[in-house]
Amino acid sequence: MDVMDVMGRTLPNRGETVDKPKVVLGVSGGIAAYKACELLRRLTETGHDVRVVPTDSALHFVGSATWSALSGNPVSTEVWDDVHEVPHVRIGQHADLVVVAPATADMLAKAAHGLADDLLTNTLLTARCPVVFAPAMHTEMWEHPATQENVATLRRRGAVVIEPAVGRLTGVDTGKGRLPDPTEIYAVCRRVLARGVTEPDLTGRHVVVSAGGTREPLDPVRFLGNRSSGKQGYALARTAAARGARVTLVAANTGLPDPAGVDVVPVGTAVQLREAVLKAAADADAVVMAAAVADFRPAAYAEGKIKKKDGKDPDPIVLVRNPDILAEISADRARPAQVVVGFAAETDDVLANGREKLRRKGCDLLVVNEVGERRTFGSEENEAVVLGADGSETPVPHGPKEALAEIVWDLVVERLK
């Protein structure tokens, strides 16, 4: 039944779950269980009907009341609750996606070997939908051959196992094994719901993506910069990783969480970005320059803060040219078959400027999009035309930055063959 607001407009019926994608959020017993609350919120706020299935150990970290309140659904760990509804079969059968976050070493082992001693492991055996695991554990446990073999088994069977992030672990330890940021796990879930588990067509490939906007310092507190958020570059890195590539993301001043399973190299200036991109490009199959690189930098850097002088006009800022990284990589490819992709943000004569820029830069593909005060910068969506050096023109309709990223990789994969 439709629900109307006071103006007579139809509102989404919050109680209605018929058309909502059904997601099972499995939570196993690790300290990162608290981060799954954020994932749960994102899923419910974006129109997913989420049933949380924690393990008994997960409830030591976050209790049933939290899962139930945040999901709006009942929570149980046992196959013996509500037996008449046969939950150990029904929950898995009716799911569109099962995501286990965090997935402990024990949970991966049980899933790989088909054990079924609680509601979550039963659900994993009955689910016929895509399954995503987001592991979190200490580095030693992740690297242990037993865990690695279990992960390989699960991947071979079609499960998506996200690479853990590198960073601070429980206690004083740091290393690989952190649960990726909930926004990243959410992005993986959204991709799998939209596209299913796809052929990893970039497996064995190394791709380099630059993202963000460079900052050219004037003095210790000021810089010349631009408004690039880095979101398009991150979407490119995330989707390339999901398609099986080894990804190096050269990130200029983004402040965004690291995409799961991606090597992130933080940089500040255009010169630093050039150095990092050239180094990573040496063995890369593709380089995508999504970063907004400053064309000029201040000729001089003031060691102390530049002060205003009373009654005097400020000194002009003298600029010098930065290297054109895209043109340099295109002209001097580290590998003959390397595919090079550029981006062009234009405000006027978008296509004509794009064609001219493609020729001038010498890259294989140029993603041209129109920018302005409220367009593209910082937004979650994009709209573009991808121009090919072979004369091709691929329009990309308005949509999420991930969708544009997928099309870019489709075109790169075609050229890598």
Query: With respect to ligand CTP, which residue has the nearer C-beta, 54 or 342?
Result: 342
CA distance 280 to 273: 11
Minimum distance from residue 250 beta carbon to ligand CTP (Å): 10
Per rule CB under 6 A, count of chain residues that contact ligand CTP: 14
Give the contact letters, 262-281, x = binds to ligand CTP (CB under 6 A), - = no: --------x-----------
Minimum distance from residue 137 beta carbon to ligand CTP (Å): 38
Q: Segment near ligand CTP (CB under 6 A), from 74-82, 167-175, 322-330, 392-400? A: 322-330
Query: With respect to ligand CTP, which residue has the nearer C-beta, 127 or 289?
Result: 289
Our finding on whether 332 is near ligand CTP (CB under 6 A) is no
Selected from 103, 325, 365, 411, the binder of ligand CTP by CB under 6 A is 325
Give the contact letters, 350-389, x = binds to ligand CTP (CB under 6 A), - = no: -------x--------------------------------
Selected from 50, 289, 385, 411, the binder of ligand CTP by CB under 6 A is 289
Minimum distance from residue 292 beta carbon to ligand CTP (Å): 7
Residue given tokens 């205003």 in the structure block: 308
Query: With respect to ligand CTP, which residue has the nearer C-beta, 155 or 375?
Result: 375
Minimum distance from residue 209 beta carbon to ligand CTP (Å): 10
Minimum distance from residue 57 beta carbon to ligand CTP (Å): 47
Our finding on whether 291 is near ligand CTP (CB under 6 A) is yes
Burial degree of 275 (CB within 10 A; 0-12, 13-18, 19+): middle
Our finding on whether 295 is near ligand CTP (CB under 6 A) is yes
Catalytic residue among 226, 253, 322, 369: 226
Our finding on whether 82 is near ligand CTP (CB under 6 A) is no
Q: Which two tokens stand for residue 217?
A: 């310092």
Query: With respect to ligand CTP, which residue has the nearer C-beta, 150 or 338?
Result: 338
Minimum distance from residue 374 beta carbon to ligand CTP (Å): 19
CA dihedral 102, 108, 114, 118 (to 10 degrees): -40
Query: With respect to ligand CTP, which residue has the nearer C-beta, 77 or 228?
Result: 228
CA distance 276 to 86: 55
Selected from 39, 207, 326, 368, the binder of ligand CTP by CB under 6 A is 326
Asked if 237 and 249 touch (Cβ cutoff 8 Å), the reply is yes
Our finding on whether 322 is near ligand CTP (CB under 6 A) is yes
Q: Which two tokens stand for residue 142?
A: 């992740």
**226 is annotated as an active-site residue:** yes
Burial degree of 354 (CB within 10 A; 0-12, 13-18, 19+): buried
Our finding on whether 211 is near ligand CTP (CB under 6 A) is no
Minimum distance from residue 99 beta carbon to ligand CTP (Å): 34
Asked if 99 and 134 touch (Cβ cutoff 8 Å), the reply is yes
Asked if 270 and 294 touch (Cβ cutoff 8 Å), the reply is yes
Q: Half-sphere exposure of residue 103, counting CA atoms within 13 Å on the CB side? A: 31
Q: Which two tokens stand for residue 241?
A: 């990783």
Bridge partners of 349, per DSSP, are: none
Our finding on whether 343 is near ligand CTP (CB under 6 A) is yes
Our finding on whether 344 is near ligand CTP (CB under 6 A) is yes
Selected from 208, 211, 345, 384, the binder of ligand CTP by CB under 6 A is 345
Query: With respect to ligand CTP, which residue has the nearer C-beta, 241 or 270?
Result: 270
Query: With respect to ligand CTP, which residue has the nearer C-beta, 23 or 293?
Result: 293
Query: With respect to ligand CTP, which residue has the nearer C-beta, 44 or 229?
Result: 229
Active site residues: 226
Return residues touching ligand CTP (CB under 6 A).
270, 289, 291, 293, 295, 322, 324-326, 342-345, 357
